[in-house]
Amino acid sequence: MQIGPYRLSGRVLLAPMAGITDRPFRQVCRTHGAALAYSEMVTSIPALQSDRKTLLRCDNRGEPGIRAIQIVGADPERMAEAARLNVERGAQLIDINMGCPAKKVCNVAAGSALLRDETLVARILEAVVAAVDVPVTLKIRTGWDLDNRNAVTVARIAQATGVSALTVHGRSRACGFSGPAEYHTIGEVKAAVRIPVIANGDIDTPEKAKAVLDATKADAVMLGRAVLGRPWLLGQIQRFLDTGDAGGLPAENERRGLIAGHLNSLHEFYGHPAGVRIARKHIGWYSRHWNHGNADLLQRIYQAADGRRQIDLTLQLLAPSPRDQAA
């Protein structure tokens, strides 16, 4: 798939997720199959552009592949300035968030709330595309609610304003993350525009990814929550799309090394004690997919205040049980 001057290596992308897709997690996912990995959303509020949290979210130093930053806001001039600033900071691609259903975002008329105002959508897209010399992509939902699906109209606006690619999460803002994804709407969007369309929503297995691509004719799929605790899923899906065989899980030692490396990267990226605290949620996600039922040890991991001890205990948790070794 081509986005502006960039030819992607595959058809499986990592979704931007607030509080999750920081630089350490993006690097893990790129290493294990993501053709493109977006940052968590970065505010366009001028007073927060030098805030520590904002700087961490847009930190892409040493990141392999295309450095993609997602920005969020509702004012065209502020969004254009945020895009320029992030390109100066190293972004090679700017994504615009018009898909987030969170109340704190929608309450300030940003994220998916923008879908109610197509004129403002056009103004924001025009301003951002004109402000930077890198590709601009857009992430949307199917509409504000089930009675107001306007994804096709917004897609046409995006194409007309120079947006390079479009991701559609197959639910309305009102649906949040509940109910089945509307793949038929994504298909309608794909049929209506010439720019690449990326399908997003409930894609959690290689077979599901292929079925969604077949049904929608989309150019790629984007995974979010399904990757938590199993970043290797991205590579399994790409292999399945390429060969029809997803292959097995990475070898146990490889998975353990991946997890230890990820935790160590979090500790280094955020420092102490923030890195240890932030790592806990990832340990919880990893343990869901690879846990031998040792609740006491998991609790000790959550209580660990030292990074090295946190990693050592996590590797104990993920070690084969005696029963597994006997088998």
Which tokens in the block code for residue 37?
Answer: 């990995």
d(CA 237, CA 205): 7
- What count of other Cβ atoms lies within 10 Å of the Cβ of residue 240? 18
d(CA 289, CA 38): 24
Instruction: Give the DSSP letter of residue 145.
Output: S
Catalytic annotation, pick one of 58, 100, 106, 175: 100
d(CA 289, CA 252): 13
Which tokens in the block code for residue 44?
Answer: 């366009």
Catalytic residue list contains 100: yes
Q: How many CA atoms lie within 13 A of 234 on its CB side?
A: 29
Q: At what angle do helices 76-88 and 118-131 cross, to 10 degrees?
A: 30
d(CA 289, CA 270): 25
Q: Any idea which residues carry the catalytic annotation?
A: 100
